[in-house]
Amino acid sequence: MRVTGRDRPGITAGLLRILDEAGAAVEDMEQIVLHGRLNLGLEVIVPGGRDLLKELLLFGWEHEIEIGFEVAEEPVEARPLGHVVTIVGERLGPDALGMVADAVAAGGANIERIARLARYPVWSYELLVSGGDPTEIRTSLLTAGAAHRGVEVAVQAEGLSRRAQRLVVIDVDSTLIQDEVIDMVAEAAGVGEEVAVLTERAMAGELDYEASLRQRVRLLAGTDASVLERVAERVRLTPGAATFIRTLQRLGFATAAVSGGFLEVVEPLRRRLGIDHAHANSLEVVDGRLTGELVGEVVDRAGKARLLERIAVDEGVPLEQVVAIGDGANDVDMLAVAGLGIAFNARPVVKEAADATLSVPYLDAVLFLLGVRREEIEAADATSGNS
């Protein structure tokens, strides 16, 4: 049955009442209301000898709705689990949506359902896709997304693990915050340009991270350690960062900040946002000044992945239920270990290694990849008084 017309209370209830009184069985049912218009589909097994057409058509006439029928000899088989395709962009028009539909068809798959997730701060839609070859679908979609400027496409397998991702591990510099902390410290120490060049090359994967970090830290030798407090006060959160962490907490997710930067700046951020775990490098301080050396184990590319695994064990979360977010080459191993690795405004080397990419300036857009709708975020904020 296909039911369409102006939506009003009691339509679905009335139809189901007629079916119940006739002894019919409902095998499947989906409904959506778009701009006040009802679109309802039902798969119904009608008992032998009972003609429901007149009753249903009379109901439709009385309530000004259209009811169409299609007779099938056998019930439609339940569809197997497919994939969830999430589209994110500053503005998603028919060109971008059509590109995704074409890519799905090219992979031999079919779009089962489309739902809008957000219109602010970016637009986002979620598509449930079935059939086709998973590898071909992913390749087709990611290729199409990369060729369409301003549109991000993420593909994830549908299933319990997607709904149960309960640990989010996030990089700090240029991800959770807009700044590169070591560059800010270096600027205060008078070696800003020299350090910034090394930072950029390290994040692009051109230099060994630990070696370049130690080289940059040595340039800070003799700097008054109080500069770290001033930098911690000056760092700028990425737009949407507070909303992102706050929403994860409401969902019951554990959160962790894992940084190749400095704990002296990351720890205040952890306290400010209420993040559960924070790990970063520690600078050696003697007589109130930086010595140019690090203390303890270095948090580098491999170290970030090890920390993610350790935190997941501590939280009792399987790796397939972990989300990792980062932008630099030192995040690649961490993204690979996680069940879902997201490259956020990342360098090309990171995008190539990630499961999904986001190149928008809002960190809370990551929530859409987790299936969270903007209206849900705003409703929760309104209830608690947050903005």
Give catalytic residue positions. 171, 173
- Give the dihedral of Cα atoms 221, 185, 295, 264; nearest 10 deg: 140
Which amino acid is it at 168? Answer: V
Q: Which helix (H) or strand (E) holds 359?
A: none
Residue-wise burial string across 355-375, b where 16 or more C-beta atoms lie within 10 A, e elsewhere = bbbbbbebbbbbbbbbbbbbe
Q: What is the DSSP string of 41-79?
A: EEEEEPPTT---HHHHHHHHHHTTEEEE----SSPPPPP
| E runs forming strands in 235-359 | 254-262, 277-286, 289-295, 322-326, 340-344, 356-358
Count, in order, helices (H) and strands (E) of the chain: 16, 15
Residue with the two structure tokens 């395709």: 85
Which among 335, 364, 189, 175 has a CA at the least distance from the CA of 266?
A: 175
Contact 247, 365 (CB under 8 A): no
Residue 177 corresponds to which tokens in the numbers above? 């915050």
The one-character DSSP state at 81 is P
Q: What is the residue whose two structure tokens read 């359902």?
A: 113
φ/ψ of 383, rounded to 5, equals -65, -40
**Cα–Cα distance for residue pair 305/322, rounded to 1 Å:** 12
